[in-house]
A and B are shown apart, each in its own frame.
Chain A
C-alpha cells in the first residue's frame, strides 16, 4: 500500500497538518521533541488502529481539544481507499471509504506496515508474548486460515485450562486431540515462515552491517518436533499439567530467538550489543518485507529514529539497502544521509512539517 495523503487534526502536537505523500522514501528530520515520533505514530495507527506508545487514548489528543482526527488517502493494490479515524477520550471510531468499521479484526488483515522504533525494540527484546504477536500478525496477513486456527486454539486452550483446574479429566483426551489438531496447523505455519525468513534475514544482516556474521532465526516449539509423538508426550505431561492447573506445552508457549555466528563463535540474542540488536531487528523487518513482497503486498515501512546507535558504516549500508526497496518508507531522524531521487526531505518543527 502507498499512503498518498495524510491529514491530522488535534493529534498530539499537531493542530492541523496536511501532507501530500506518495511513493518514495520520506525523511522527517528535526530536533528532539518537535513531533517526528508523533507523525510515525499516526502513520502506524492507520494500519494497526492502536498506538505503539500508549494504550490510553487521552495522550493522543492535543491539549484543549476533544477529539483527534487522522485522515489518510492511500492506494492498495492500485485501488484508492480512504481511512478516517476519530479519537475521543471515550473511544475511537474508524471509517473505511465512508463506511463505519465495526470489527477491528475485519480491518486489520487488509493493511500491513512494518515498524521499527525504540518501543518495538524494547518489547520485542523483552517479551516472548510480543514476539509471538509480531509473527502471528505477519503470518495471518498472508493466511487467514492461520488466524482462524489461532482463534480456535484460544478457545480450546481456555477450555483445557478450565478442565485442568477443575480436575474432572474425563474429556481431557478430546480437548487434547483438538489442541493437537490446531497446534499442528499453527506450528507448521510458524516453522515454514521462519524457514522462509532465515536466508533473507541472514542476507539483510550482512548487507546492513557489512559483516560476515551469520544471523540465524530459530523457532522454538515447546512440543516435540514431530507431531507423531505429541499424543504420547501430552499423555506423559498430564500429571504435571493437572498439578499446574494449566497447559504447559503448546503454541502459546513457543518462542522465536536469534543467534549470531561469527569467527567460529555463536552469540545468543541476550549477548547482542545494542547496535547488533538494532541491526538484527532491522534484518527481521527487511526479511518480513521480502516475504510480503513475494506474495504481492508492499507494506509501508515506518522507521522511527532510525539512525541512532548505529555507526557511520552501518548507517550508510542501511541507507543503500532501503534505497533498493520499492516500498513506501517513512524515516524519522535528527539527521539522515541523502537518498537521491527516491528521497523526499521534510523539516519537522513544533508540530509543523515543511518539505525541503
Chain B
C-alpha cells in the first residue's frame, strides 16, 4: 500500500482511540487533511494543553487546571451537599446535565477485590477529612449501579453512619421519556423493586 507516511501515522494514532476503528480513523484523518490548516493547529494545541494543564483537584479529585476545580472554586455552589462519584468523568456528566448544585468528591474507583482495589486504595480518608472540616449536611452516594458501586456505597454508608450527615443514594427506575415497551428487563426489574408510593395524601 503506497500511502504517504504522515497520513498513515495520523490514522494509526486516531485508531488507538476508544470506539474508533480503522474506517472511522480514515474518515477523521481525511477530514482533518481537507480542513483549514488552522484547524489542525488548534486541534493539536488542544491535545497538548489537555495533557499539560489538567490535573486533579486538591479537594475533590475532579479534573482541574489549577489547585482547585471550577466547581470547588465556584462560590455559588451549595457547600452543604456532597455528591460522591467513582470517576472524574462522572463529574463531567453530572455537570453537563446541570442537575446538582452542590460539590463533588471523586473516589478514584470502586471497591473491586478482583482488580486489587480495596477501601484503602480509594479517596475515602480524604472524604472523611472533608466531612470533619467542611459543613456538610448531606452526602449523596452516586457510585455506579453495578455490584462494585453498590459495595462501595454500602461501605461508605457503614463508615459514615452516626456522623450526623444525611446519607442518600441515587434512585433506580424508569428512564424519563421512555416507553415501557422498549425498556430492558433489568431496568424494569429495578424499577419494580424500587417502586414508590404515589398520589393521595
Residues of A within 8 A of B (CB): 144-145, 148, 152, 155-156, 158-160, 162-163, 166, 168, 170-171, 173-175, 177-178
Contact = CB atoms under 8 A, between A and B. Distances in A.
A178 B151 contact: yes
B151 A175 contact: yes
A144 B112 contact: no
Most A CB within 10 A of own CB, among B118, B120, B152: B118
Interface of B: 111-114, 116, 118-120, 146-148, 150-152, 154-155, 158, 185-186, 189, 192-193
B144 to A, nearest CB: 12
A174 B155 contact: yes
Contacts, number: 57
Given A156-B147, A174-B151, A178-B151, A162 B114 contact: yes
A324 B62 CA distance: 68
Contacts of B148: 155, 159
Interface residues of chain B: helix, strand, loop or mixed (majority): helix
Given A160-B113, A170-B119, A177-B154, 11 more contacts: A145-B185, A145-B189, A145-B192, A159-B113, A159-B114, A159-B147, A162-B113, A168-B118, A170-B118, A170-B120, A173-B155
A162 to B, nearest CB: 4
B147 A171 contact: no
A156 B146 CA distance: 10
Given A159-B113, A162-B113, A174 B189 contact: no
Nearest to A143: B189
B157 to A, nearest CB: 9
A254 to B, nearest CB: 20
A161 to B, nearest CB: 8
A159 B112 contact: yes
Contacts of A159: 112-114, 147-148, 151
